[in-house]
Structure 1
């Protein structure tokens, strides 16, 4: 098997020299998506230069709400599509760092910087593109506790040291900060013989994270609970690739995780209640925290301790009222409401409210 340096050079070659546009991709794993976007997001996409769009490779639109004024880091920004979307959503008072290891991709992003700032009506750029490696964000001058939101689009799977990547992400996030990313996951560990295959790795398959290994990795880094906002199985749509790696089931998943010190490794019941105010842009009638939790505007919902913390101790806190604390423990949190709860008319989060939400992967 080739060493890590050789594999990285092969990835750079794949994205910098072999692929000249999204049409050159050999599978649908790293396709860009526009479906499921809100009218505001579609309008923002319309402000992105066509040259940037045609050279962008991603499996979703991992942009959470409430980015205005935030410091955003886009890991593996490529030609800059999501960075330029985030630049519009943060507004001129926010900032976006787009980092990537591929010089050719960053050249496209940088060459279009002035065009985008003029298009957005910004007198000063709020985007900074930096070349480097996601395993060492410190080398790019990104300090501890300096980023509000980290986004990434079908890139983290490419790393040969995912522990280093996620360790760096949680280092640079501010307390209460959010990691929101779309990527390719697998239902089993991808056989090691494929890890150095240039095409399979470049197509985001060889490095796909086995979901249970991902859970264990975040747990080891101190993040005991993450949420899935959307998930769908990937159809490879390439007979040759299917014959090679078809024994593995691949999924495009969008994940939300927070840098919170009080998350527990199981969902516990403290009798806490959350009410959504209905004021998050694009979410006037309900808000989907994940694919299990839909909060109807004004409706009281019983939530576990972890969900209460995600809603109260992050930038979402201004948009929710969370009643109760962790002073009294009632046992494991069960999404199935007991009879007494139904009688009180307060449903538990997730009960009868499940939905697919967030930046859907293609």
Structure 2
């Protein structure tokens, strides 16, 4: 609440550091020097196995950028080629450089972060990665600013097709972050969630907030989730029975949702997802398979960058046609973690298209 008050009092073009922001800056800019300095796996736990094409893209990133990475989960939306993408809280730039390979030379990735030290590392290797990826000119840039004040940082409305983030939890004004993002087109993020309302002691603890365990946001469409553990006895004692998960959600800005469902067929044209597309925890679309979707999902698919990737039919099943029903959906990441815990974990090298795509090689 304090940050929103500061913003209104200062007016447009002025944004004041709150105590929380100062603490977060110090934690990520001064306290943490490398990944091993983290006290929990909140910034390390991938919420699902990493596909081979992403692992290959990550291997091309400079070691110093990777060593300074403190991200929560791994946020990689599908169908990125040629897109303009903004990373909220880009840190050392690891995800930006990975995603710059996926959007391709005709796409562009912008990272915004408030921590000078992290931005210094990210900017240091722009030319290095441009040469490493074989591009004529950089398709990545980094901006210093607050994720609650995108316009004040010089970013223009409707200038990005996709947002990703894993630091919404670090913001003391999450509503402002999401309302600013809503002015753009699409949003996809991974963040941290608590099993219950946090005590004042936990919310005011500098290390726990810095490790992304001091906040919380309301959930939209759930994609996947992973348990967070704390490897520090002092912090464990403070947390007590509180449980945390890293959860990835998909948000898409769409027109007013129709109540009509639809039958959809995935065409299999998304690079590296030719055989199947795992849209969220409820829907996995296999190529040429007829799937029944509800009105919300039908609207998301038909009014987003996925529109050309699906064939849409009225929700009337043709005679002799086999239709796949969706799983029972959940918006609770703790329930999903339990479901995933009972399932067999697939290989981390799965999910790639093979040698056909240039960035899969």
Q: TM-score, normalised by structure 2?
A: 0.82
Matched, 1:10 2:23: yes
Deviation of residue 245 (structure 1)?
Answer: 1.2
Q: 1:163 to 1:136 in 2, by over 3 A?
A: same
8 Å contact from structure 2 (residues 85, 162) kept in 1? yes
Q: What pairs with 1:1-362 in structure 2 (closer than 5 Å)?
A: 5-31=18-44, 33=46, 36-153=49-166, 155-171=167-183, 173-174=184-185, 178-209=186-217, 214-215=218-219, 226-263=220-257, 268=259, 270-324=260-314, 345-350=322-327
Residues 57-98 of structure 1: CA deviation (Å, up to 9, x unaligned): 012110111111111000000000001111111111111110
Q: 1:343 to 1:321 in 2, by over 3 A?
A: closer
Residues 230-254 of structure 1: CA deviation (Å, up to 9, x unaligned): 1122222322211101222111101
Which whole-Å CA distance do the structure 1 matches of 2:181 and 2:233 have between them?
36
Segments ≥4 residues shifted beyond 3 Å: 32-35, 340-344, 354-357
Deviation of residue 200 (structure 1)?
Answer: 0.8
Which whole-Å CA distance do the structure 1 matches of 2:301 and 2:20 have between them?
40
2:355 aligned residue? none
Residues 124-149 of structure 1: CA deviation (Å, up to 9, x unaligned): 11111010100000012222222111
Q: 1:195 to 1:314 in 2, by over 3 A?
A: same
State the secondary structure of the residue aligned to 1:52: helix
Which whole-Å CA distance do the structure 2 matches of 1:82 and 1:35 have between them?
16
Which whole-Å CA distance do the structure 2 matches of 1:111 and 1:319 have between them?
37
Which whole-Å CA distance do the structure 1 matches of 2:66 and 2:320 have between them?
52
Which whole-Å CA distance do the structure 2 matches of 1:202 and 1:277 have between them?
42
Structure 2: gaps (5+ residues) = 4-16, 330-335, 349-361
State the secondary structure of the residue aligned to 2:161: strand
Of 236-245 and 110-119, deviating more is 236-245
1:334 aligned residue? none
Q: How many residues align?
A: 321
Which whole-Å CA distance do the structure 2 matches of 1:239 and 1:87 have between them?
39
Q: TM-score, normalised by structure 1?
A: 0.82
Deviation of residue 6 (structure 1)?
Answer: 2.0
State the secondary structure of the residue aligned to 1:85: helix
Deviation of residue 305 (structure 1)?
Answer: 0.8
2:13 aligned residue? none
Which whole-Å CA distance do the structure 1 matches of 2:207 and 2:328 have between them?
43
Deviation of residue 193 (structure 1)?
Answer: 3.1
8 Å contact from structure 1 (residues 70, 95) kept in 2? yes
Which whole-Å CA distance do the structure 2 matches of 1:35 and 1:159 have between them?
25
State the secondary structure of the residue aligned to 1:72: strand
Which whole-Å CA distance do the structure 1 matches of 2:153 and 2:180 have between them?
12
- RMSD, matched Cα: 2.7
8 Å contact from structure 1 (residues 229, 290) kept in 2? yes
8 Å contact from structure 2 (residues 28, 210) kept in 1? yes
Which whole-Å CA distance do the structure 2 matches of 1:9 and 1:307 have between them?
40
Deviation of residue 49 (structure 1)?
Answer: 0.5
8 Å contact from structure 1 (residues 32, 57) kept in 2? no
Structure 1: gaps (5+ residues) = 216-225, 329-339
